[in-house]
Amino acid sequence: MVTRFKAGGPLGADARGFYDEHGFLILDGFASAAERSALLDRIDALVDGFETPHSRTVFGEHAGDRYFLESGDKVRFFFEQDAGGRPLRQALNKIGHALHDLDPVFDTFFHSGRFRQLARDLRLNAPRLLQSMVIFKQPGIGGAVNWHQDATFLRTEPESVTGFWIALEDATLENGCLQAIPGGHRGPLRQWFGRGEAAMLETRTLDDRPFEDADATPLEAEAGALIVLHGRAPHMSRRNLSAKSRCAVTLHVIDGEAAYPADNWLQRPADMPLRGF
Ligand SMILES: O=C(O)CCC(=O)C(=O)O
């Protein structure tokens, strides 16, 4: 049974305890209706300003793809696999990965006192904003996101990545809400993803025990809710075969005092250092 908590003010001991035990936390009403519509309007404006390249980069088919590898300090657009000839706004899978530094609307939203307070309550040391995304989950074609742990993709020593996922629209089982395994964050990290030989992207198995669909708990979220995900929390989402869009924005934060290995896929140039809240 997933207990839901109300956003606003410092995290209570009950919410903190739930997060420690389960590895995720739902905070209802974190983003206001005005913030959601400002972000959705901004997303439309970004899409309107995007010049469609000759070849559309499909998210998940990016091994070795420079467009993806060089997106850590940019705002780039990735397509759904089954987008066919759909218009751009209905064909995108995601936008990433430095919206929080490069786009004024996202910058204002993410660099707010509420996120700072939440990071403090989660005992994140010297939080640094590493990665931000828009995840569209388009009606009818929104692709599944397979089981994974964020600490596979955003590695620090010691591990510190924490995900903030904010629903801009209602996310339900019908349109492919997040699903997670309660307590799964206390298990081992299963995979390593990063730059291997010749900086080519590589996935390595660290532990071959699979995550089981039978252990999944749906994290349904009303528009405005924020879901915190521990870096080791196993999570996934199914395809959106419904007629309802399920747009979300995400932010991944790391501890600025932890080491950030150079073989992480996401790299920042020296003149664009990570910032705190
Ligand atoms: O929004 C989704 O469906 C998946 C998001 C996710 O896995 C992530 O942000 O790590």
24 lines ligand 1 (CB under 6 A): no
pLDDT at 228 over 50: yes
CA angle 220, 222, 225 (to 5 degrees): 95
pLDDT (0 to 100) of residue 64:
44
Our mutation pick for probing the ligand 1 site, out of 178, 193, 232, counting the most ligand atoms within 8 A of Cβ, is 178
| The CATH number fitting domain 4-50+58-255, selected from 2.102.10.10, 2.60.120.620, 3.40.50.2300, 2.20.70.10 | 2.60.120.620
3-state secondary structure of 228: strand
Ligand 1 mean position to 144 CA, how many Å?
10
Domain boundaries, the chain: 4-50+58-255
247 lines ligand 1 (CB under 6 A): no
Model pLDDT for residues 59-110, shown as the tens digit of each residue: 766 554 788 999 999 999 999 988 888 999 999 999 999 999 999 999 999 9
CA 83 – CA 225 distance, rounded (Å): 28
Which candidate, 113, 112, 108, 130, places its Cα nearest to that of 42?
Answer: 108
Nearest Cα residue to atom 9 of ligand 1: 250
Nearest Cα residue to atom 1 of ligand 1: 135
Ligand 1 mean position to 162 CA, how many Å?
12
CA angle 83, 89, 90 (to 5 degrees): 35
Residue predicted with more confidence, 200 or 262: 262
